[in-house]
């Protein structure tokens, strides 16, 4: 709203080329807003965001989103087949090889057990699938095109801890070849990143490695101490009966 205070203020954050940065903060600190600014799902009202030195507002949305892949906690799927939903994230000419690699990274092999395999229609928003299955397909779509920049906003929250661990192990190889910003709610996700940024009340309060922030930031240590149990990501998980 025009008269409301800004959700983010004086944010100064530099992610090095090829680096993975975890973004950690309490509920309402502005994490999702910050990640949504990168692909211009929201527009900045002050300041600027640059990718490899180029202001994102100088790029067309089509060009920007060909460079930046995203996966969010609430995934969007389209009324199309599983394979079509995933390959929407790839360039022209992508086929079965790219599809299988992406499904493997996202631990989405369940797709092959669907009635028509990856040719199965999932319906609008993928409501025929569980929350964890939808998240894994959205993650597969994000990584299928080997993006230069990857933005992940808690995309594993609906997964049980065992599946999450398998996805994270596979993601390490993907993150080695891209620049990534990852909203993290579990220490295991934080440890995927090279460095961590603590967002507090719309500002970057601290930046460092996980272990550095544990030593130097009481707020970060407090957040981590409360996020080491399964299910603390905030949403229902596969296999938990909800």
Classify residue 114 as exposed, middle or buried by CB count within 10 Å of its CB (0-12, 13-18, 19+): middle
Q: Kindly report each contact of residues 113-116 with a partner whose C-beta sits within 8 Å and lies 24 or more positions away, as own/partner.
A: 114/82, 116/81
Judged against a pLDDT cut of 70, whether residue 237 lies above it is answered with no
Provide the pairing of β-strand 20-24 with 179-183: parallel
User: Rounded to whole angstroms, what are the CA distances from 155 to 43, 94, 111, 141, 239?
Assistant: 22, 23, 18, 12, 17
Output the pLDDT for position 2.
67
Output the pLDDT for position 234.
43
- Here the tokens at position 155 are 């995309």
**To the nearest 10°, the Cα dihedral for 193, 196, 202, 204?**
-140
Output the pLDDT for position 233.
40
Confidence of residue 227 (pLDDT cuts 50, 70, 90): low
Model pLDDT for residues 10-55, shown as the tens digit of each residue: 899 999 999 999 999 998 899 999 999 999 999 998 999 999 999 9
Model pLDDT for residues 140-197, shown as the tens digit of each residue: 999 999 999 999 998 888 788 888 889 999 999 899 999 999 998 888 889 999 999 9
Domains observed in the chain: 20-76+148-225 (3.40.50.300)
Contact present, 77 and 120 (Cβ < 8 Å): no
pTM, rounded to two decimals: 0.86
Model pLDDT for residues 67-78, shown as the tens digit of each residue: 999 998 888 888
DSSP secondary structure letter of residue 6? P
Contact present, 207 and 217 (Cβ < 8 Å): no
d(CA 77, CA 139): 11
- Here the tokens at position 74 are 């609430």
Look up tokens 């229609």; give the residue. 121
Judged against a pLDDT cut of 50, whether residue 235 lies above it is answered with no
Contact present, 167 and 107 (Cβ < 8 Å): yes
């Amino acid at each position: 709203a025009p008269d409301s205070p800004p959700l983010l203020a004086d944010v100064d954050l530099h992610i090095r080329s090829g680096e993975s940065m975890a973004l950690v903060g309490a509920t309402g600190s502005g994490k999702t807003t910050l990640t949504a600014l990168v692909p211009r799902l929201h527009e900045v009202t002050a300041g600027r965001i640059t990718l490899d030195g180029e202001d994102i507002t100088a790029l067309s949305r089509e060009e920007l989103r060909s460079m930046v892949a995203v996966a969010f906690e609430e995934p969007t799927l389209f009324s199309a087949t599983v394979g079509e939903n995933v390959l929407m994230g790839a360039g022209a000419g992508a086929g079965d090889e790219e599809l299988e690699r992406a499904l493997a990274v996202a631990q989405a092999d369940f797709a092959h057990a669907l009635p028509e395999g990856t040719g199965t229609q999932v319906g609008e928003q993928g409501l025929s699938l569980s929350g964890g299955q939808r998240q894994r397909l959205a993650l597969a779509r994000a990584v299928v095109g080997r993006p230069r920049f990857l933005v992940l906003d808690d995309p594993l929250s609906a997964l049980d801890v065992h599946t999450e661990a398998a996805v994270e192990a596979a993601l390490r190889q993907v993150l080695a070849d891209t620049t990534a910003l990852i909203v993290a709610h579990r220490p295991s996700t934080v440890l995927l990143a090279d460095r961590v940024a603590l967002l507090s009340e719309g500002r970057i309060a601290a930046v460092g490695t996980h272990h550095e922030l544990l030593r130097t930031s009481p707020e970060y240590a407090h957040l981590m101490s409360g996020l080491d149990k399964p299910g603390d990501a905030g949403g229902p998980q596969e296999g938990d009966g909800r």
